[in-house]
Structure 1
């Protein structure tokens, strides 16, 4: 019964297409913000830094791939973000300040409820010498997977933070319940 209840709760709270669209828009535009883009829309101006320098930013290859992937995802889901609005309900706002390499959303989600393994350090990037810890996944936490893995790493979220971990660090065997 416990497994059914937890699974049902995860299904009810899992991201809707609207939430996916808002997070995709946010991630895509966060890359532009970090590159110094000066937003013209009301939404861009209210969500991102006013500290800008250009209307033609240069994105890194990594960010360009991430932006392209999110544009395709937004097209597939027929996303319509009202950029005249001043508010965005993206769940990722405030979670990625310490992350150097922005993740790419997946169309699929899963969660590890009640992590039972050894502590796992989340990092700002993927195996880079300059990566630094962004948090620790501790016993009992819920870990959310909703991003594409890359280069032997996967991006995860917890209530206490977000970051990159080596693929396979968290498995269904190290969870009280694994859903998704």
Structure 2
């Protein structure tokens, strides 16, 4: 019995690390894609826009910090992404298209299961005048927290959307259950 639980824990940890690696690779490279980078790898060409303009993109300070943080995260988890493949198992693909300010993954994760509070609007950026809604957290939603907070805001995901919300907008008090 003890072996079963140990094996299950190792499988869960390996699966989580694999998902974290795929998401970190995707976020890091999404910044380069948005800056017009011309990918050379099969995976980069398959996942990102092929309309490109440079092999030497210039990233703003925010994206540069995010890219550096994800490189460190990938190194600490010894991530190995098959860039010769044509697909990536990232849960973020398609969720960040409307997000202006890309988030940085955290090594820790938690979830609000069965949100019970008032609707919360997720936005494309942090306190920016030109931020716009990217989705709404509604009653019954599962809200995932797995990104670094910044400047009084946190980046969250639901099953269908992702975006920035004021820190504390979703708390354990507004959840049927809170894990993590």
Is the structural similarity TM-score above 0.5? Answer: yes
TM-score relative to the length of structure 1: 0.92
1:78 and 1:122 mapped to 2: Cα distance? 32
1:41 partnered with 2:54 = no
TM-score relative to the length of structure 2: 0.92
> How many equivalent residue pairs?
169
Helix, strand or coil for the counterpart of 2:78? coil
Structure 1 stretches of at least 4 aligned residues deviating more than 3 Å after TM superposition: 12-15
1:107 and 1:13 mapped to 2: Cα distance? 12
Any idea what the Cα deviations from partners look like across 1:7-55, whole Å, max 9, x if unmatched? Answer: xxxxx69961010000000000000000000000011011100010000
Helix, strand or coil for the counterpart of 2:73? helix
Aligned to 2:103: 103
1:51 and 1:64 mapped to 2: Cα distance? 22
5+ residue gaps, structure 2, are 1-11
**Any conservation in 2 of the 1:43–1:83 contact (CA below 8 Å)?**
yes
Aligned to 1:6: none
Aligned to 1:55: 55
5+ residue gaps, structure 1, are 1-11
Q: Alpha-carbon deviation of 1:160? A: 2.2
